[in-house]
Amino acid sequence: MQRREFFKKSFAAASALALADTLGASETRQPIDNRKVSSIAFPEKRPLITYSDRPPLLESPRETFSRAITPNDEFFVRWHMPEIPTHIDPATYKIHINGAVERELHISLDSLKLDFEQVEVTAVLQCGGNSRSAFTPTAGGIQWGHGAMGCAKWKGVRLRDLLSRAGLKKDAAWIGFNGLDNAAYYETPNFVREMPLEDLDDHVIVAYEMNGEDLPYLNGYPLRLVIPGHYSDSWVKMLSNITVTTEYQKLFFMDVAYRVPDNDCECETPENRFKPTKPITTMNVKSIIGYPTNNTIVHHNTHLVVRGVAFDDGHGIRDVLISTDGGKTWGTALLDKDAGRYAFRAFRYAIKPTKMGKLTIMAKAINRLGAEQPFAHEIKWNHGGYKFNGIDAVTVEVI
Ligand SMILES: Nc1nc2c(c(=O)[nH]1)N[C@H]1C(S)=C(S)[C@@H](COP(=O)(O)O)O[C@H]1N2
Ligand SMILES: [Mo]
């Protein structure tokens, strides 16, 4: 017994060393994928992986990604500020547009729905730090697995239409967005985001509906910004103020957070942090297997249909490839119908496992520009743990 303990311990130490060796000082691996959903659910949400309840931080489990649309109650949640209003009255809610505009606007929800053209877009919302737990050493921030993303059909009005109703002043250059959430202490900066006016296109909307319903409270009821193709750090929720400025306001959540090294590999080491940095903007190509999940039991000599989703920043998915031999050979998955260039593209691929034991299935997406996902270990470190898009892998048990 003692001997066994000893061997167990020394084995653990040796494998930890070996792991440190192969990982090097700053490498990546597969994100953590064994967290269980909580037994307690938030309002309008089913039980999700829960990191915190103040502010609410909820992640969707892997099986969410076997479908092209993420149901509202399964959609992940991320807030920076602990103070979120607990009551919103849709009858009196107004969105304010001010700053470098010809006339200030205070628009009610009814007026938003009646007085402007309604538009819809199916688009992926993904946190720039999704899959952050892949980075070693640990990168600062929530240690998300794969599930800080989702895809919904958003309905609302074009931001451009709101701004033209207000009339932009000649020297208008930046648009600032603020929501109703607040820091608990005065010293903490509020979550305000800015967008250069020149980046504004007709795809950016102020949305009030998600998958045919009011936005769930935790996803930003009653209004949020939707910026298709872009990481979601600027998709401001409970949007209450749009302020146009002539100059960039130096704000914490613009200047410090959500930035990567401004070099070709967007990489650095913990010892040698790279300057200057640039904001994370458009998303890179990525895919996630929704079924099977890790440790699923499957039967040999029967068909197993692998399902998942792929997306990029709006160029569109050309192919999803599947490998069962560690990436040596790849087969082409079937793509489901295209729900628009910003949407999840669902894929499926049938395999028939013949050997008993563990089987690892990998998925790699390629977009219409030819950009493809690298292997997880090829991705270089950055201090915020942003933009991980390594080839996904799940390991099942064949019996
Ligand atoms: N008002 C407000 N909007 C916000 C945030 C926030 O903290 N406050 N976080 C942003 C970030 S970083 C992410 S990842 C998304 C998360 O959107 P979700 O909670 O609907 O999934 O909201 C964005 N919009
Ligand atoms: Mo985020």
Tell me the per-residue pLDDT of 46-89, one tens digit each, with 9 for 90 and over: 999 999 998 999 999 999 999 999 999 999 999 988 889 989 99
CA distance 180 to 170: 29
Average pLDDT over residues 226-231: 97
Average pLDDT over residues 116-126: 98
* Residue-level pLDDT at 188: 67
Last residue of a domain, one of 282, 300, 334: 282
Q: What is the CATH number of the domain that holds 38?
A: 3.90.420.10
218 — phi, psi (to 5°)?
Answer: -75, -15
* Residue-level pLDDT at 251: 72
The answer on 338 and 197 residing in a single domain is: no
Residue 177 has pLDDT above 80, yes or no: yes
Instruction: Locate 294 and state its tokens.
Output: 């890790």
Task: Give the SS3 label for residue 59.
Answer: strand
Band (124; pLDDT cuts 50, 70, 90): very high
Instruction: Identify the domain containing residue 390 by its residue range.
Output: 286-398
Q: Which of 143-157, 186-200, 290-304, 380-394 has the weakest average pLDDT?
A: 186-200
Q: What is the CATH number of the domain that holds 370?
A: 2.60.40.650
Average pLDDT over residues 369-379: 97
Instruction: Locate 93 and state its tokens.
Output: 């809610």
What does the pLDDT look like over 90-108, one tens digit per residue?
999 999 999 999 999 999 9
The helix (H) or strand (E) run that includes residue 213 is strand 213-214
Last residue of a domain, one of 249, 282, 315: 282
The helix (H) or strand (E) run that includes residue 163 is helix 159-166
The answer on 367 and 238 residing in a single domain is: no
Segment 52-59 long-range contacts (CB within 8 Å, at least 24 positions apart): 54/82, 55/79, 55/80, 55/81, 55/82, 55/84, 55/181, 56/84, 56/218, 57/142, 58/218, 59/35, 59/144, 59/145, 59/147, 59/148
* Residue-level pLDDT at 75: 98
Task: List all residues 6 or more positions away from 323 whose beta carbon is below 8 Å from its beta carbon.
Answer: 329, 330, 331, 361, 362, 364
The helix (H) or strand (E) run that includes residue 364 is strand 357-367
Residue 50's nearest CA partner among 152, 136, 140, 148 is: 148
Going by alpha carbons, the residue nearest to atom 10 of ligand 1 is 233
The answer on 291 and 275 residing in a single domain is: no
Dist. CA 306 → ligand 2 center (Å):
28
Q: Which residue has the higher pLDDT, 204 or 184?
A: 204
Residue 259 has pLDDT above 50, yes or no: yes
Dist. CA 103 → ligand 2 center (Å):
32
The answer on 194 and 328 residing in a single domain is: no
Average pLDDT over residues 339-349: 98
Taking the CA of residue 239 as reference, the ligand 1 atom at the shortest distance is 1
381 within ligand 1 shell (Cβ under 6 A): no
- 356-393 CB burial, b ≥16 within 10 A, e <16: eeebebbbbbbbeeebbbbebeebebbbbbbbbbbbbb
Last residue of a domain, one of 253, 282, 311: 282
The answer on 236 and 157 residing in a single domain is: yes
Dist. CA 235 → ligand 2 center (Å):
9
Domain count, the chain: 2
Band (215; pLDDT cuts 50, 70, 90): very high
* Residue-level pLDDT at 2: 44
Taking the CA of residue 55 as reference, the ligand 1 atom at the shortest distance is 7
* Residue-level pLDDT at 255: 67
232 within ligand 1 shell (Cβ under 6 A): yes
The answer on 332 and 275 residing in a single domain is: no
Instruction: Locate 190 and state its tokens.
Output: 């509020």
* Residue-level pLDDT at 3: 42
Determine how β-strand 56-59 pairs with β-strand 77-78: antiparallel
Query: How large a percentage of the chain has pLDDT more than 70?
Result: 91
Dist. CA 5 → ligand 2 center (Å):
43
Average pLDDT over residues 137-155: 97
261 within ligand 1 shell (Cβ under 6 A): no
The answer on 268 and 218 residing in a single domain is: yes
Going by alpha carbons, the residue nearest to atom 18 of ligand 1 is 77
Number of Cβ within a 10 Å radius of residue 332: 12
The answer on 269 and 291 residing in a single domain is: no
Q: Hey, what amino acid is at 132? A: R
CB 358 within 8 A of CB 324: no
Q: Which of 214-228, 241-255, 283-297, 339-353 has the weakest average pLDDT?
A: 241-255
Query: How large a percentage of the chain has pLDDT more than 90?
Result: 85
The answer on 326 and 203 residing in a single domain is: no
The answer on 217 and 358 residing in a single domain is: no
CB 48 within 8 A of CB 74: yes
> Of the bound ligands, which one is closest to the alpha carbon of residue 141?
2
Dist. CA 236 → ligand 1 center (Å):
6
The model's pTM is 0.92
* Residue-level pLDDT at 356: 97
* Residue-level pLDDT at 186: 61
Instruction: Locate 120 and state its tokens.
Output: 């819809």
Number of Cβ within a 10 Å radius of residue 104: 10
Instruction: Locate 178 and state its tokens.
Output: 């603020």
The answer on 333 and 229 residing in a single domain is: no
The helix (H) or strand (E) run that includes residue 49 is strand 49-53
CB 240 within 8 A of CB 258: no
The answer on 314 and 267 residing in a single domain is: no
* Residue-level pLDDT at 8: 42
CA 213 centroid distance within chain: 21
Q: What is the dihedral of CA 199, 205, 211, 213, to 10 degrees?
A: 150
Going by alpha carbons, the residue nearest to atom 4 of ligand 1 is 236
- Say which DSSP state 262 is in: S
Determine how β-strand 118-126 pairs with β-strand 174-179: unpaired
Average pLDDT, the chain: 92
Residue 384's nearest CA partner among 135, 44, 203 is: 135
78 within ligand 1 shell (Cβ under 6 A): yes
Dist. CA 151 → ligand 2 center (Å):
15
> Of the bound ligands, which one is closest to the alpha carbon of residue 126?
1
CB 346 within 8 A of CB 307: yes
What does the pLDDT look like over 10-49, one tens digit per residue?
444 444 444 444 444 567 899 999 999 999 999 999 999 9
Dist. CA 41 → ligand 1 center (Å):
19
Number of H helices, E strands in the chain: 4, 26
